[in-house]
Structure 1
Amino acid sequence: MIHLLNHRTRLLMNLRLLAMVSLAWLPAVPTLADDIDSVGETVVLFDGDSLDGWVGNEKLWTVEDGQIVGRTNDSDPIEKNTFLVYSGKEFGNFELTLRFKIESGNSGVQYRSTLVDEDKFVVQGYQADIDFANTFAGILYEEGRRGILAKRGERVTIDDDGEKLTKRMGDAQALGNGIHPGQWNDFRIVAKANHLQHYINETLTAEVIDGQTDTAAKSGVIALQLHRGPAMTVRFKDISLRPIQ
């Protein structure tokens, strides 16, 4: 009887040791941008509970029901566009995915951008546009710099002198019909070298090859926009990023 108990004890100890060794070989799942450096690993930029890793005007940005909510009001309007900036890390080549719901006004997702005013949370750079009127949603706009680089349905190549060659890849109105203001939509942004693509609900809405080397950004911050003007509300969730080569 004693011999049998000792055998069982040794067996349990060996199984526990084997489990510990096996777990040690499992890859860690990254949840913070500081934890990720290798290509192909996905990082969650918003934990669903807090604005950890983000900086912005605390009066304008909150977390509600697992969503980042940006909200302005007419009684205390903002004087200029302001942003919630992801401060954990800057990114170069990546695939960024998120869900958005805009209930009024104009917003956007900044990428490869530069924080130019730390006190008022102002950034400049590439923007994947979002608007409730559904006029600009999906376009590629460069905030604070060159303006609209590609309208919805356009594939644009910019040469080193800033000249544009524009080709039509789809009808702007038809593409807009696949975007749903006031409802949740999927946004996917792909930035690889000087090739930039915007997808809403898995449909390509705008594409740019930015060959203007003195201006084209190779990396920068991710940020979310609140646009000056009438009161507005925009919501974001499920924000994640996968570095690519």
Structure 2
Amino acid sequence: MKGRTALVTGAGAGMGKATALAFAREGADVVAADIDETAGKNTVDEIEFLGARAEFVKVDVADSGQIHDMVDATISSFGRLDFAVNNAAIAPDRLRIVDVDEAEFARMLTVNLTSVLLCMRFQIRAMLDADRGGSIVNIGSVRSLRALAGSPGYTATKHAVVGLSNTAALEYASDGIRVNTVCPGPIDTPMLRQARARRGETAESDTKTRTPLGRLGTADEVARTSLWLCSDAASFVTGQTIAVDGGFLTP
């Protein structure tokens, strides 16, 4: 991937950070975007330690203008955009439908779904302008494929990410732009640990029991899947939804 550029949102921690580092190890220039400036700059420092080039862009993916500026900054820094992994998201507390707060539901829609639309809008425009094609990976969830009681907003938005990705895949295939969705299962990330802490859960045994491989996944395992989808090895793969879940969804 040397000479090409990857943009990763939510790159300050967890799967986003692992993905940014994975692209850097393959020689790509990386734009690490995150709302957390300290975390995002730490990711850039780690990439530069590897000998790769990287820039940090602070972005709130709930803000269309900031997303536009993020893509512009990518082109300004490295002259091109070849790969994008739209990873930024929020996870909700467990609430049943009758208890859902409208404002919180609206924020879930904005951060987890509308941001994916807006990111793709500006990313695809940049790819079309360059006329070199490209690859976009949107990060869904096993909740994109199976509902979770007590999580209506998260489940709804992650379901919709798949439909949005597949629509983009159909619309821009003839332009050489591939779009796929990666759906992580139980992955050992700060977001998962924080969500469990809010729910008063401390043990991992339930997840391990329900995952056929008997463990949590790692952020690196998700990152490697996104990396493969963006690589030339996946040149005939578009409009696909790939679960990285240790068999979690197996019937």
TM-score, reference length from structure 2: 0.29
Give the greater-gyration-radius structure (CA): 1
- Normalized per residue, the structure richer in strand is 1
Larger RCO (CA within 8 A; separation ≥ 6): 1
- Normalized per residue, the structure richer in helix is 2
TM-score, reference length from structure 1: 0.30
